[in-house]
């Protein structure tokens, strides 16, 4: 892997956090299917190919009583991660430089959660068994593993575009130039293809998503020497000999069939009792190109007939909202709730409506279902056992539809802004690294482009109140005199509004 390790040192992969790999996400899905997992607040987590450790560092900061270990082939990545560890001030993480083929699994020990994100498809065939051996040797008896990989049939289309780009880019050495030349050539070929043909449409669609990604991402994903997609059934066959089995996708909505056609749902219903065939059919129907699969040891029984009563075991949160001034949640009137990504749902069951209103009022805090029920009863009155059972059913359906989040603990952060607030040290480090997406203490990614908001977050180290914040903001910003006077007058309200946003996002330390 010498050439690949050099490419990552020469052109480092961007620093990201991946909420779908969070121990709480993995734990909650394990609980859903009847596996007695370790609580995220007291666990051991390993990330294979951790890059610069950004993902693990976010977990380590938010979960101080858990232990995190990560290794990567890139020395530069690890060096950067160790520096970040010191700057953020976390002690419960160990990052080291190592080739996966040289790992001593006995020395590593046992882990409750093991992550391999963006790795399995991007290594030589000879390395893949070593990665799976780490899972086989180090995953705890009731542990959950996360493996992401490229999949067919969707990647057949991706391979067409990548092949075209490489036709041109292979003649260049500089990574940025390789990416620029590759994209330019793909644009030229797409423009030269038969107008409005299926081929031209496919190339243009690929171009759209390629343009949205960073140069580093395109270089390491599309122009990589190693990029091997798999059919899902082949992935399952690959992990089986290592004593591992498929559990679920990391995103519950990934296997939701409600948005598929009647014909698709009929075909899938015919194989619903065979989870592997069912999942493979979904890939074939949707032309899936990427999976984030959760795995566990083969000896673990998996209860796929999920009971509604499972809802009682979770901390639950949701960001869906409605205009309470114009709707009635206490009767059976249908009410529309809007999600955070443009999706919406309509609910007419009073107790379920009240539960969603209660979740929104507590966002981003997660609460046990029984506590949410108590709040909902305050809105609609004490409900019958049958009503509570219906609410459980609806909440489970909303979880599988992506509208509600399940967790195994409630993240700690301040919901109220104090006199000298303290923001997440991890988020402050991200700002210092010019990272747009800030990771909240609830494990969510928040895109922050507002320079004032970012400046305020970066200054919240517990030494400044509102007055000090205003003084330093004015000192940092250059404005014409007339604009400066208006800005100065409005600044106290701006600061208060931004502090409220920061708190509601889960970025203040409790």
The pair of three-digit structure tokens given for residue 330, joined into one six-digit string: 């206490």
Name all contacts of 125-128 with Cβ < 8 Å and 24+ positions apart.
125/228, 126/101, 127/1, 127/100, 127/101, 128/238
Spell out the CATH class of 2-150+229-258+288-297: alpha beta
Per-residue model confidence (pLDDT) at position 321: 87
- How many angstroms separate the CA atoms of 15 and 216, rounded? 10
Q: How many residues appear in the chain?
A: 510
Q: What is the pTM of this model?
A: 0.93
Strand 290-297 to 244-249 pairing = antiparallel
Per-residue model confidence (pLDDT) at position 6: 47
Per-residue model confidence (pLDDT) at position 405: 95
Domain(s) of CATH 3.40.50.150: residues in the chain: 2-150+229-258+288-297
- How many angstroms separate the CA atoms of 354 and 377, rounded? 8
- How many angstroms separate the CA atoms of 416 and 413, rounded? 9
Q: Is 155 helix (H, G, I), strand (E, B) or coil?
A: helix
Per-residue model confidence (pLDDT) at position 5: 44
Q: Is the peptide bond before 153 cis (omega within 30 degrees of 0)?
A: yes
Rg, Å, the chain Cα set? 24
- φ, ψ of residue 330 in degrees (nearest 5): -95, -10
- How many angstroms separate the CA atoms of 18 and 393, rounded? 29
DSSP 193: S
Per-residue model confidence (pLDDT) at position 61: 97
Q: Is the peptide bond before 364 cis (omega within 30 degrees of 0)?
A: yes
Per-residue model confidence (pLDDT) at position 480: 87
Sheet holding 93-97, edge to edge: 93-97, 67-72, 44-48, 111-116, 139-150, 290-297, 244-249
What is the mean pLDDT, run by run of 10 residues, along the chain of 510 residues? 55 84 98 97 98 97 98 95 97 97 97 98 96 98 98 96 94 92 96 96 95 91 92 98 98 91 96 97 97 98 93 95 79 87 87 94 92 94 90 95 94 92 97 94 88 95 96 90 89 95 92
């Amino acid at each position: 892997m010498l050439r690949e390790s050099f490419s990552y040192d020469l052109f480092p992969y961007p620093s990201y956090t991946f909420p779908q790999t969070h121990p709480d996400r993995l734990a909650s899905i394990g609980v859903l299917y009847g596996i007695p997992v370790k609580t995220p607040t007291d666990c051991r987590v390993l990330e294979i190919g951790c890059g610069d450790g950004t993902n693990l560092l976010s977990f380590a900061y938010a979960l101080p009583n858990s232990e995190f270990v990560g290794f990567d082939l890139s020395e530069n990545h690890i060096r950067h991660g160790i520096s970040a560890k010191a700057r953020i001030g976390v002690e419960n993480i160990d990052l080291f430089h190592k080739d996966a083929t040289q790992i001593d699994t006995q020395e590593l020990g046992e882990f409750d959660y093991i992550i391999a994100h963006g790795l399995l498809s991007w290594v030589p065939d000879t390395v893949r068994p070593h990665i799976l051996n780490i899972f086989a040797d180090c995953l705890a008896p009731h542990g959950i593993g996360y493996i992401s990989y490229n999949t067919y049939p969707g990647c057949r289309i991706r391979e067409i575009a990548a092949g075209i780009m490489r036709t041109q880019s292979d003649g260049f050495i500089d990574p940025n130039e390789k990416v620029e030349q590759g994209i330019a050539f793909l644009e030229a070929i797409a423009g030269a293809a038969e107008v409005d043909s299926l081929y031209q449409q496919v190339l243009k669609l690929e171009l759209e998503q390629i343009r949205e990604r960073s140069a580093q991402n395109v270089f390491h994903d599309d122009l990589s020497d190693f990029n091997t997609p798999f059919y899902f059934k082949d992935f399952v066959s690959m992990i089986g000999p290592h004593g591992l089995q498929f559990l679920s996708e990391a995103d519950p909505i990934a296997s939701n069939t409600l948005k598929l056609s009647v014909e698709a749902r009929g075909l899938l219903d015919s194989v619903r009792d065979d989870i592997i065939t069912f999942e493979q059919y979904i890939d074939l129907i949707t032309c899936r190109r990427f999976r984030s699969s959760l795995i566990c040891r083969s000896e673990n029984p998996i209860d796929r007939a999920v009971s509604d009563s499972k809802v009682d075991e979770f901390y639950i949160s949701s960001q869906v909202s409605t205009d309470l001034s114009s709707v009635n949640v206490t009767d059976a009137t249908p009410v529309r709730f809007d999600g955070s990504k443009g999706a919406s749902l309509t609910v007419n069951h009073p107790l379920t409506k009240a539960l969603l209103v209660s979740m929104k009022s507590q966002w981003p805090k997660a609460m046990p279902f029984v506590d949410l029920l108590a709040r909902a009863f305050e809105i609609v009155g004490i409900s019958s056992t049958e009503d509570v059972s219906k609410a459980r059913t609806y909440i489970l359906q909303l979880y599988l539809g992506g509208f509600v989040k399940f967790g195994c603990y409630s993240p700690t952060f301040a919901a109220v802004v104090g006199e000298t607030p303290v923001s997440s040290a991890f988020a402050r480090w991200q700002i210092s690294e010019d990272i747009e997406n800030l990771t909240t203490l609830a494990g969510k990614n928040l895109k922050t482009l507002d320079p004032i908001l970012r400046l305020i977050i970066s200054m919240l180290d517990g030494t400044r109140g509102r007055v000090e914040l205003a003084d330093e903001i004015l000192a940092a910003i250059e404005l014409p005199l007339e604009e400066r006077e208006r800005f100065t007058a409005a600044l106290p309200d701006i600061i208060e509004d931004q502090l409220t946003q920061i708190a509601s996002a889960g970025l203040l330390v409790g």
